[in-house]
Structure 1
Amino acid sequence: MQGRTIKDRIKSARRERGLTQRQLSAILDISSANISFWEQGVNTPSTKNLLKLADALNVSIDWLEHGDKSAGPEYIPPANAWELPDDVDLSDAEYRDIMVPRLDEVSQDNYLGEPNYKKLFPVRKELLQLYSLQPRSLGALVMPDTSMEPSIAKGDMLLVDTSVTAIERDKQRIYALVKDKTKLVICRVEEDALGKLMWTDSRGQHKAASISDREWAQYTIAGRVVMRTGAL
C-alpha cells in the first residue's frame, strides 16, 4: 500500500468489492462523476461523503486517508438475494450487502424482465430493513426514460418485487412491465370493475389510458417497483 494515495485506495477498495463506479454511486446516492473525480484525484470526498464511502467499501476512514487498514472491519462477502430464506431476519445477518439480479440485462439464459444471475446489483441490508423488504424475490433495473418524473428520474436504479404477478386493485402502484417481450415500461396501473388504467407520472392520471384485455395481453408483469435509489 506504500506510495498509494486516497484516489488509489478508493479505486482498489471499490474493485475489491466488485463494484462499478455507477454501482458505488447508487449506494452513496451521488453522481457517478463524483466517484470518477475522486479516483482521478481531481478532488477528494467531503467529510460526509468520506464517512459514507468508508461504510460502503467496508474499510476504515483512517485507511482511506492514510493507508492504515488495521482499524478497518474485516471484509464480509455479500449474500445472494435469491439464496436467502423467504422470511430472513436481516437484523441478525452477518453480511452487509445483498446482491440482487438485474431484470434489464438480457442473455441467452433470460429474457427482458427475468432475473439475470450473472449481472447483479448490490443493496445494503439496512435499506431493505428500512423499507421492510424481503430480498429473495427482488430484482433491479435502471429507469430507462423520463416518463415517471418527478417520482422517478431517468437513470434511477429501481428495486422490483418479482413475486407480484398481478395488478393490485385500486392501489395505483408502479409496475415494471415488458411489452411484446422487447420493451421495458415503468408506469402506474390501476384495476377496477371496468378494467385497467395505465398512466405515467409525467403526464398525470388525467391522461390515463384505458387498456383493453387484448391490449393488456401484450404486457408481462415483471413485478412491482418497491424502491428507488439515486441516479447512476
Structure 2
Amino acid sequence: MITKLSVNINKIATLRNSRGGQIPNVLEAALACERFGAQGITVHPRPDERHIRYQDVFDIKKNIKVEFNIEGNCREQKFVDLVLANSPAQVTLVPDELGQITSNHGWDTIKNQSYLKEMVALFQDAGIRVSIFVDPDIKMVEAAAETGTDRIELYTEDYATNFKTDPKNALKPYLEAAHVAQEVGLGINAGHDLDLNNLPYFAQNIPNLLEVSIGHALIADALYMGLESTVKQYLKALQ
C-alpha cells in the first residue's frame, strides 16, 4: 500500500493575502500539485479567512480531480455549511480555538463523544468521509471509534520534535495508536510538522497509513527546490 499525499495549500493563501490580489494564485497552485502527482489537496479555512478564503474552497472543488480534504473546526456553523455545500471526499474535524495560529492538539474524544457522534453522522449522511484529529493516545483512538468516524488523523508534532534525537521512541506512541486503530477498524491519516527528514521513517513503520496531509514544510521546501520537484520528493519519501 502506498500512502497518499494530500498537499495543504494554506501557506500559498497566506502569501497571497499578505499582498492582496491573486498572486500567487491558490487555485493554480492546487492544480499544479495535482499535475505533479499529489493524490489530494487539503485546505483549512478559518473564520477570519486569514489564509484560505471560503471562495477558494468553492473554486478548488469545482476544478480539481483528486481527493479534496477540508479540515477545520466543526463547532463553527459557517464551516459546517461550507463543507456541506462543497461535498469534499473527506472532512477532517479539528478542535481549533478562535484565533489559533495552527492546530496544536487533538480532540478529547471521550469528553466530546456525544457531540462528535452527531457531527460524524451529519457529514456521513451527506456522503462525506470523516476523519477526527487525535493525539496518539490509545484511549482517544478507542473513543474515536465509538463516534462512528471512518478515520483518525494522528497529530504528529510530538513525533517531529522528538525524531531529531530519538526516532524509535518518538514513533512508539504513534505505532501503538496505529495498532489500536487497526483493531477497531479505523483508517489512519497523519499530519503536522512532517517533512522530508522525518516522513520516510514514519511512513515505513506506521501500518495502514492511508494519507498524510503536509503543508508548511512542503511549501517551505518548494521555495528552494521548486513546487514540482518538492511534490515529487515527498511522494518518493512515502514509497
Structure holding more strand per residue: 1
TM-score of the aligned structures, taking structure 1 as reference length = 0.27
Relative to its length, the structure with more helix (as a share) is 2
Larger relative contact order, structure 1 or 2 (CA cutoff 8 Å, min sep 6) = 2
Give the TM-score normalised by the residue count of structure 2. Answer: 0.27
